[in-house]
A and B are shown apart, each in its own frame.
Chain A
């Protein structure tokens, strides 16, 4: 993919001390940024598989520190923070994730005689796509529906973790937390001074300077 920086120089964290953040937001974001980078719920082997899956679901550029996606999944499982509903065909999320990670590992061993996390990206993607389409080897999945696990957990949990992180907000030009200060200019092509500027072609340097001033 083209990793064109659409909002160069924009850092939503620069607004931390502005009126766009309140104490509750700062507390929540501190917790977000302080997520443990080591597994507490998953085993080391499961963790390695999870890290590899996260890297395929949301590949991240090498130009900046990556969002520690696996850490958020492990945290969610450790806290057993649920979404409020569960497809009756799936076990509770802790069990589902353990089963699912074991299944990917088992399939990698079955098909390639290697650990999932040691496969190259293309082969990992292929196994993920098989699960998505429900074409996985049922024996590896121990009765769990692979495509359901893929959509309800692999996609949902990992993608939600990424787009809850300030790094992703910089990437998509989201204004981030807003409160007590909200927004004034509501119409199209309007921008409040505390919102990022999108770069066009050739004006990156100017836009970068402007975005450095966004507070």
Chain B
């Protein structure tokens, strides 16, 4: 175990790390670089992971590339916020606009398994109407997808990730029972429930991708509460311990610490492989299809960085929309102090949820939001407290002393897509010499109206359960989406319903960047469901002769 996964690739020489055993290995197939593989998938997170596994299971030759390290959680993960920033994308990105985003911890992973290695495991389905929000609800854009078909893929994703959720879910159309039972709720989650009941709203245990009973080599969750800096027990059903092992078993290859810098296009205008940096040098992998799954910043960055004489604006960018319509989700919160001792850091941070305002349309703004219980660890909490209340000095230490009595409610709200919110290339370059991303973001009136509405609701909820010293965190955002939206024509979108780019028939984009709208729930389950659908669609297209190999 002397190897350092941060500096030396582990998936080499016919073997990959066995994530379930310290120092362990599993066999891994390797493909020659010169010979084109069927699929190169760039990114191994919520979108890339399922694709690699499903395509390999269908018999295709697949290589998954990830810029990040290949961890064995049992031996590599400390219970420590600061050192576990090793899971985040910490290479520089520039942020600007009226409301510059904060990146890193809550939306940008850099590891095999992507952000799912450090996500909060919240696994929610879209409200069906959101797939046609322009037509049915009057805002945003319609998806070229049918919700009933998505419902099936959601169910598949929930089974694959062994989601632990309530026996019956109170909102939306009927869904199958979650594969695992909901976890016991903690004191902070109970505060949400009591507040919701006082307001007459329904609440539920949040469906989470961490098991409440053993599953294979994953033991049940021990409620250590460090979920968002990596699960060191493997209870969390991240891509790293679910789809990636499946992919390896089915004959896929994973290349860790492999930064793809450029997608190559041949004379016919088709993607023919990728240039990637690994072990200190640039290499080329030939491929018949390239699937980009790098999430809403790295995906457009790679497409833009791959510009050629033939595609001077970047690949798949005939519409000019690559990098456009970036969305984040509003993540404002209201916090308060209880007389009782709560110790909100115990257990997964978001054990209860109310989706009331996702399904209630009597409101004077577009889009929906939910809110969930909170349990930040000290560093994150001190940043929220000091940043929002402008506290430092003795006053900050005094307030931090209430840590074990603190409770909070945090929204995940739907921000609307805007052309000017975007990812573009900056002049600065990174350690590979590649131009870095510039992320420009400004809130619009509808976003602000929703935030104010949510803050008012959450504050009322905390007041009703007797919290004191209540204050609002006005400035936080989290998940990303957009920048390569899907649609029904090549003028107004980058990819079609199958995540296939309109411009280059063997270039696919399959991650959160294809979202035309972002919904009022955490996006990871929807990304995974879309990836599962895309894998099926690729097989169907292949059978129908619509795919050239």
Contact = CB atoms under 8 A, between A and B. Distances in A.
Determine which residue in B224, B381, B438 has the highest number of CB atoms from chain A within 10 A of its CB, and name it: B224
Nearest to A158: B392
Contact of A182 (B85, B104, B225, B438): B225
A66 interface: no
B397 A171 contact: yes
A142 B187 CA distance: 49
A189 B341 contact: yes
Nearest to B22: A23
Interface in B176-231: 184-187, 190, 221-226
B233 interface: yes
B82 A160 contact: yes
B293 interface: no
Given A175-B343, A188-B190, A188-B338, A29 B222 contact: no
Contact of B232 (A1, A24, A86, A163): A24
B80 interface: yes
A163 B381 contact: yes
A191 interface: yes
A85 B397 contact: no
B92 A86 contact: yes
Nearest to A169: B378
Given A169-B378, A188-B338, A92 B92 contact: yes
Nearest to B399: A172
A182 B439 contact: no
Contacts of A89: 96
A82 B95 CA distance: 14
Contact of A85 (B78, B222, B439): B439
Nearest to A173: B404
Contact of B222 (A132, A179, A190): A179
Interface in B462-515: none
Interface residues of B, number: 70
A32 B78 CA distance: 12
Determine which residue in A27, A85, A160 has the highest number of CB atoms from chain B within 10 A of its CB, and name it: A85
Determine which residue in B94, B96, B100, B393 has the highest number of CB atoms from chain A within 10 A of its CB, and name it: B393
B223 A184 contact: yes
B341 A160 contact: no
B102 interface: yes
Given A28-B80, A159-B382, A188-B341, A84 B108 contact: yes
Contacts of B390: 132
Question: Is chain B's interface secondary structure helix, strand, loop, or mixed overall?
Answer: loop
A34 to B, nearest CB: 13
Contact of B379 (A58, A87, A160): A160
A44 interface: no
B335 interface: no
Given A155-B392, A183-B225, A84 B103 contact: yes
A187 interface: yes
B92 A82 contact: yes
Given A85-B102, A156-B383, A178 B92 contact: no
Interface in B320-355: 338, 340-343, 345-347
A115 interface: no
B379 A164 contact: yes
Interface in B369-422: 377-379, 381-383, 386-387, 390, 392-398, 400-401, 403-404
A83 B311 CA distance: 33
B91 interface: yes
Contacts of A184: 223
Contact of A22 (B186, B223, B232): B232
B270 to A, nearest CB: 34
Contacts of A28: 78, 80, 82-83
Determine which residue in B221, B225, B426 has the highest number of CB atoms from chain A within 10 A of its CB, and name it: B225
Contacts of A189: 187, 340-341
Contacts of A84: 88-93, 103-105, 108
B501 to A, nearest CB: 27
Contacts of B341: 188-189, 191, 198
B82 A164 contact: yes
Contacts of B342: 188
A20 B394 contact: no
B359 interface: no
A79 B274 CA distance: 31
B531 to A, nearest CB: 24
Nearest to B385: A159
B226 A178 contact: yes
B80 A177 contact: yes
B146 interface: no
Determine which residue in B78, B81, B223, B386 has the highest number of CB atoms from chain A within 10 A of its CB, and name it: B78
A159 B390 CA distance: 12
Nearest to B90: A84
Contact of B233 (A132, A177, A180): A180
Contact of A82 (B76, B82, B90): B90
A195 interface: yes
B443 to A, nearest CB: 16
Given A57-B393, A191-B341, A178 B90 contact: no
B540 interface: no
29 contacts: A1-B394, A2-B398, A21-B79, A24-B76, A24-B77, A24-B78, A56-B392, A57-B393, A58-B392, A58-B397, A59-B394, A84-B89, A86-B95, A155-B392, A159-B382, A164-B379, A168-B400, A169-B378, A171-B401, A180-B232, A182-B223, A183-B225, A185-B346, A187-B187, A188-B187, A188-B338, A188-B340, A189-B340, A198-B341
Given A86-B93, A188-B342, 20 more contacts: A22-B79, A24-B75, A24-B78, A28-B80, A58-B396, A59-B394, A84-B88, A84-B92, A84-B103, A85-B92, A86-B92, A155-B386, A178-B224, A179-B222, A180-B222, A182-B221, A186-B223, A186-B346, A187-B186, A195-B343
Closest 3 CB pairs of A and B: A182-B222, A84-B104, A177-B79
